[in-house]
C-alpha cells in the first residue's frame, strides 16, 4: 500500500464538509470517492474517473455490502405492507389510548411518555442497530407526527438508542465482531475482557444519559431547539426545503378501504423481523463452532459467530413472507397486490440504496488510501500512558467520522491501540473501551454513517438535518467522555 500521508484524510473531510454545507449528500459523497481515486491514480483525472466507476461496481463484490443494500430496499416493501393493511393505524389507535390517559393526568406529559417509549424500544432491540433504528422510526413516526414532535427528534432518539446499546450489551453481532478482533490481538479471554471494559465505555453511557435528560427535562440545544420551536409555532415537522429519506409514498401510503384497523397487522411482521434476527445469527454461525461443551455453549458461540448482514436480510424477507400470509388469510391482499406493493416499496427506497452504496464506496476508498492508519500513526511517538485513553478516544472518533463506520474503526484502531497500551503500560480494558467508545462517537457525528442513514430513513427525516440536530448532543457527550478519560487515565 502506498503512503499517501496527509492526502489520505482530504477526500472524506472534503466530502463531509460539502455534505454539511450544501446538503447535496449524494454529490458530496461521489466527489469524495472520485477525489480519492484521482489521488490513487497519480492525479490522472481520466484514470481516476474510470477507477471511481469500477469502485462503485466493486461495492457489490462484498456479499455483506450487497446484503445490507438489499435489506435497505426490502424494508420499503415491508413499510408499505403494514400501512396498506391498516396495521400502523391500528397501532396508533392503541397508543392514543395511552396518550389520552397521560394527557388527563398532566397536559403535555404524553410527549415525554411517547419519546421515552421510543427510547426504551431502541434499547430493548440491542440485538442489531439497523433493526433497532428501523423499528423505532417505523413504530413511532405516526404518533410523533400527531403530537407535533419534529422528525429530527425521532431520528435522534432512533440513532442514539441503537449503537450505544448494542456496544454496551454485546450479546449480538457487535460483540462477536469485537471479540474476534481481540483474539487476533492475542487476548486470551476476549468475552471477559470485553465485559470488564464496559464500565469504562463512557460515550455510550453518557449518550444515553443525555438522551434521557433531553426527553424528561425537555431541554433542547442548538439546531434541535430550533426544530422544536419551528414545529411548535408552525406545525411543520421538517424545515422548508428538507428532503426526507422516505418519500411521501412510503410514509403516507393510503391504506386499503373497508377493513378494520388492527395493531397486530403491524406488530406481528415487525416482531417477526426482530425475533428472527438472533435466530438467523445462530443459524449462520452454527456450523462455524469447532468445539463446544453443551448445547447452550454451542448456541452461545453460534450466535457470536453468525453473519449480521445475512441475518438482517433473512429477517426482513421472513417478515415480508409472514405479512403476506397474515394479510392473505384475512382477505386484505391478493397475490397481484402483494407483488405490486413489494416492487413499489423497493423502488421508493432506491435513493437509500444508492446512498448506502456511496457510503460503502467512500469507506473502501479510505481503506485504500490508508486514512485510518495515517491518523493513528502520527500519534504514536508522543503519547504517555496517562494520556493514551483520551487520545485513542479522539483518534478513533475522527477515523469513524471520516470513514462513516464504527466497525471499520474498531478493526483499524484495536490493532494499534492494544499494542500501544502494552508498550506504554496503560490499562488494557480502559484503552479497549476508549477505542470502542470513540468509534461510536465518531459514527454518531458522521453524515456518511450507515446507522445514521438508516435512522434518517426510518424516521422520514432529512438526513443532513438529522446530523446537524444530533451533532450538539454527540459533541457534548464526546467532550464529557474525553474529560473522563483524561481523569481516569491518571487514576487507573
- Quick one: pLDDT band at residue 128, thresholds 50, 70, 90? low
Helix (H, G, I), strand (E, B) or coil at 294: coil
How many angstroms separate the CA atoms of 351 and 341, rounded?
Answer: 17
The pLDDT score that the predictor gives to residue 318 is: 92
- Identify the weakest region by mean pLDDT among 131-140, 150-159, 442-451: 131-140
204 contacts 478 by C-beta, under 8 angstroms: no
The four Cα atoms 174, 175, 178, 182 give a dihedral, to 10 degrees, of -170
Q: Which of the residue ranges 182-191, 254-263, 351-360 has the most confident prediction, judged by mean pLDDT? A: 254-263
The pLDDT score that the predictor gives to residue 43 is: 92
The pLDDT score that the predictor gives to residue 375 is: 63
277 contacts 312 by C-beta, under 8 angstroms: yes
Residue 1 has pLDDT above 60, yes or no: no
Residue 50 has pLDDT above 90, yes or no: yes
> Does 245 or 368 have the greater pLDDT score?
368
- Determine the distance from the C-alpha atom of residue 340 to the mean position of all C-alpha atoms in its chain, rounded to a whole number: 29
The pLDDT score that the predictor gives to residue 121 is: 83
Average pLDDT over residues 327-346: 86
Helix (H, G, I), strand (E, B) or coil at 329: helix
The pLDDT score that the predictor gives to residue 86 is: 84
**What percent of the chain clears pLDDT 90, i.e. is strictly above it?**
18
- Quick one: pLDDT band at residue 487, thresholds 50, 70, 90? very high
> Does 461 or 203 have the greater pLDDT score?
203
Residue 354 has pLDDT above 90, yes or no: no
Q: How far is CA 229 from CA 109, 142, 225, 249, in A?
A: 18, 20, 6, 27
Mean pLDDT of the chain: 81
Taking 3-state DSSP, the helix, strand and coil percentages for the chain, each rounded to the nearest 5, stand at: 80, 0, 20
Q: Which of 448, 461, 16, 470 is nearest to 242 (CA)?
A: 461
User: In sequence order, what DSSP letters do the residues of 71-130 get, joined into one string?
Assistant: HHHHHHHHHHHHHHTTHHHHHHHHHHHHHHHHHHHSTTHHHHHHHHHHHHHHHHTTT-HH
- Quick one: pLDDT band at residue 23, thresholds 50, 70, 90? low
Rg (CA), the chain: 22
Amino acid at each position: 500500500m502506498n503512503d499517501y500521508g496527509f492526502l489520505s484524510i482530504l477526500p472524506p473531510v472534503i466530502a463531509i464538509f460539502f455534505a454539511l454545507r450544501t446538503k447535496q449528500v449524494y454529490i458530496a459523497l461521489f466527489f469524495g470517492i472520485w477525489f480519492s481515486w484521482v489521488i490513487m491514480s497519480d492525479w490522472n483525472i481520466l484514470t481516476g474517473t474510470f477507477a471511481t466507476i469500477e469502485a462503485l461496481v466493486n461495492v457489490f463484490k462484498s456479499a455483506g455490502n450487497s446484503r445490507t443494500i438489499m435489506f435497505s430496499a426490502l424494508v420499503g416493501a415491508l413499510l408499505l405492507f403494514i400501512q396498506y393493511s391498516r396495521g400502523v393505524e391500528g397501532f396508533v389507535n392503541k397508543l392514543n389510548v395511552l396518550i389520552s390517559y397521560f394527557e388527563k393526568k398532566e397536559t403535555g406529559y404524553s410527549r415525554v411518555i411517547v419519546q421515552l417509549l421510543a427510547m426504551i424500544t431502541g434499547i430493548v432491540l440491542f440485538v442489531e442497530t439497523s433493526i433497532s433504528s428501523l423499528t423505532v422510526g417505523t413504530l413511532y413516526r405516526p404518533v410523533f407526527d400527531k403530537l407535533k414532535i419534529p422528525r429530527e427528534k425521532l431520528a435522534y432518539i432512533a440513532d442514539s438508542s441503537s449503537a450505544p446499546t448494542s456496544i454496551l450489551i454485546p450479546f449480538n453481532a457487535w460483540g462477536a465482531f469485537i471479540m474476534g478482533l481481540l483474539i487476533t490481538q492475542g487476548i486470551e479471554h476476549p468475552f471477559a475482557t470485553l465485559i470488564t471494559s464496559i464500565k469504562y465505555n463512557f460515550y455510550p453511557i453518557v449518550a444515553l444519559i443525555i438522551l434521557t435528560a433531553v426527553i424528561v427535562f425537555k431541554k433542547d440545544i442548538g439546531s434541535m431547539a430550533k426544530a422544536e420551536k419551528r414545529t411548535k409555532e408552525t406545525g411543520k415537522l421538517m424545515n422548508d426545503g428538507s428532503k426526507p429519506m422516505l418519500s411521501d409514498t412510503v410514509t403516507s401510503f393510503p391504506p386499503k378501504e373497508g377493513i378494520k384497523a388492527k395493531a397486530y397487522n403491524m406488530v406481528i411482521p415487525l416482531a417477526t423481523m426482530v425475533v428472527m434476527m438472533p435466530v438467523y445469527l445462530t443459524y449462520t454461525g452454527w456450523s462455524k463452532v469447532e468445539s463446544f461443551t453443551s448445547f447452550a455453549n454451542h448456541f452461545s458461540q453460534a450466535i457470536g459467530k453468525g453473519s449480521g448482514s445475512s441475518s438482517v436480510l433473512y429477517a426482513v424477507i421472513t417478515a415480508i413472507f409472514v405479512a403476506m400470509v397474515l394479510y392473505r388469510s384475512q382477505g386484505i391482499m391478493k397475490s397481484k397486490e402483494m407483488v405490486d406493493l413489494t416492487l413499489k416499496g423497493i423502488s421508493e427506497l432506491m435513493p437509500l440504496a444508492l446512498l448506502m452504496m456511496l457510503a460503502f464506496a467512500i469507506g473502501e476508498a479510505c481503506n485504500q488510501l490508508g486514512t485510518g492508519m495515517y491518523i493513528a500513526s502520527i500519534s504514536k511517538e508522543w503519547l504517555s500512558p496517562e494520556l493514551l485513553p483520551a487520545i485513542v478516544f479522539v483518534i478513533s472518533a475522527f477515523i469513524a467520522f471520516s470513514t462513516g463506520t464504527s466497525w471499520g474503526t474498531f478493526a483499524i484502531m484495536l490493532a494499534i491501540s492494544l499494542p500501544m497500551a502494552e508498550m506504554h503500560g496503560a490499562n488494557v480494558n480502559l484503552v479497549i473501551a476508549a477505542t470502542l467508545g470513540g468509534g461510536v462517537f465518531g459514527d454518531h457525528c458522521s453524515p456518511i454513517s450507515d446507522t445514521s442513514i438508516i435512522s434518517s430513513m426510518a424516521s422520514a427525516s432529512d438526513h443532513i438535518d438529522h446530523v446537524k440536530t444530533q451533532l450538539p448532543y454527540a459533541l457534548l457527550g464526546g467532550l464529557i467522555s474525553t474529560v473522563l478519560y483524561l481523569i481516569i487515565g491518571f487514576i487507573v
